[in-house]
Amino acid sequence: MSSKKHPFNKEEYIPHLAFDSVIFGFNGRKLKILVLEYRNTGLFALPGGFIKHNESLDQAVKQGVRQRTGIEDIYLEQFQTFGDLERFDPEPMKRILKMNGIDIASNDWLLNRFITVAYYALINFEKVVPKPDSLSDGIDWYSLDELPPLMMDHRKIIEKALETLRDNLDKKLLGMNLLPEKFTMKELQQVYEAIIGTPLNRSGFQRKMLSANTLVRHEKRFSGNSHKAPYLYSFKKPKEVPKTIK
């Protein structure tokens, strides 16, 4: 196996700093997360990367998520920095470099301890075309109850992302980033249920959402039976628009 010398140019990147992204999508029934599989290793991880000296952290994360999903307009939120000692384990990276035919000695900086800044992204599942990075040969959606074993503390990162998502659900209208522009009340309820992990009372949920005065009602969605056709809704533009990194 021939050795590649420099998959990343060490001089371009801020040392000991990385990012990881928990990319959420909703397939109409379950909340899903994008997970990478590194080539010929059986190792699974969240999409992540490093930050160049000449770019902001937000720019690096958006670029990384865009490359993995093909989506330009991305809702991203930074939620925690992870720096436990358990993050420092050079063996998985050695294995990844070796199985990709990359010279370990020339890239030994990748074996160092990294502090990672974690973001979650909310995107429309139907618009995503998942694409692996240069060190992996697979990327796929996994539901929360079907996640593979993940590297280092990536499971912990997902758990914290989900906790933050639940805390912000009503405050920031996060469902608007997981649904099409127009949706039924049932579809909105399904997003809420997928995120919080428990069923909700239909009439109670509808009253809550309508009383919050955050929805605009549109035409009905006709699918044969006009009497039972559900109304379509969209979110009003909030006074403080959730941050979409430009």
pLDDT tens digits along 127-166: 898 999 888 889 999 999 999 999 999 999 999 999 999 9
Last residue of one domain, picked from the residues 168, 192, 226: 168
Are residues 214 and 147 part of one domain?
no
Residues 162 and 196 in one domain: no
Q: Are residues 163 and 103 in the same domain?
A: yes
CA 155, 67, 38, 53: dihedral to nearest 10 degrees? -80
Is 128 within a domain? yes
Q: Is residue 241 part of a domain?
A: no
pLDDT of residue 241: 43
Q: Which of 120, 125, 113, 141 is nearest to 48 (CA)?
A: 120
What pLDDT does 239 receive?
A: 58
The mean pLDDT value for 232-240 works out to 76
d(CA 13, CA 65): 18
Q: What is the pLDDT of residue 41?
A: 92
**Averaged pLDDT score across all residues of the chain:** 88
Domain of residue 223 covers 181-235
Do residue 202 and residue 155 come from a single domain? no
- Asked if residue 202 and residue 145 are part of one domain, the reply reads no
- Within the chain, strands assigned E span 13-26, 31-38, 44-45, 48-52, 75-82, 115-122, 136-143, 183-184, 215-220, 231-235
pLDDT of residue 2: 47
pLDDT computed for residue 245 by the predictor: 43
Q: Is residue 27 in some structural domain?
A: yes
End-to-end CA distance of the chain: 41
pLDDT at 223: 66
Q: How confident is the model at residue 95 (pLDDT cuts 50, 70, 90)?
A: very high
Q: Does 6 have pLDDT greater than 70?
A: no
Which has the higher per-residue pLDDT, 225 or 45? 45
Whether 76 contacts 158, CB under 8 Å:
no
Higher pLDDT, 141 or 244: 141
Quote the pLDDT of residue 110: 93
pTM: 0.85
Q: Are 162 and 203 found together in one domain?
A: no
Is the Cβ–Cβ distance between 78 and 116 less than 8 Å? Answer: no
167-196 pLDDT per residue, tens: 988 777 666 788 888 899 999 999 999 999
To the nearest 10°, report the CA torsion of 3, 69, 157, 143.
-110
Question: What CATH number does the domain containing 129 carry?
Answer: 3.90.79.10
For the chain, how many structural domains are there in total?
A: 2
Same domain, 161 and 196: no
Q: Work out the burial of residue 179: count CB atoms within 10 Å of its CB; fewer than 13 is exposed, 13-18 middle, 19 or more buried.
A: buried
* Residues 78, 14 share a domain: yes
pLDDT at 124: 84
Whether 224 has a pLDDT exceeding 70, the answer reads no
Tens digit of each residue's pLDDT (9 = 90 or more) over 106-132: 899 999 999 999 999 998 888 898 999
- Domain endpoint, select from 168, 201, 216: 168
Question: Is the pLDDT score of 51 beyond 90?
Answer: yes
Query: Within a domain: residue 99?
Result: yes
The answer to whether residue 245 is domain-embedded is no
pLDDT of residue 199: 94
pLDDT at 173: 66
Do 195 and 78 share a domain, yes or no?
Answer: no
22 and 123 in a single domain? The answer is: yes
Query: Does some domain include residue 244?
Result: no
Residues 61-88: pLDDT tens digits? 999 999 999 988 888 999 999 999 888 8
Whether 130 is covered by a domain: the verdict is: yes
Distance CA 175, CA 190 (A): 10
Domain assignment present for residue 4? The answer is no
What is the distance between the alpha carbons of residues 109 and 104, in angstroms, rounded to a whole number? 9
Task: Average the pLDDT over 198-221 and give the result.
Answer: 90
pLDDT over 90 percentage in the chain: 61
Distance of CA 217 to the CA centre of its chain: 29
Same domain, 125 and 82: yes
Residues 119 and 192 in one domain: no
- The contacts of residue 30 (CB under 8 Å, 6+ apart) are 143, 144, 194
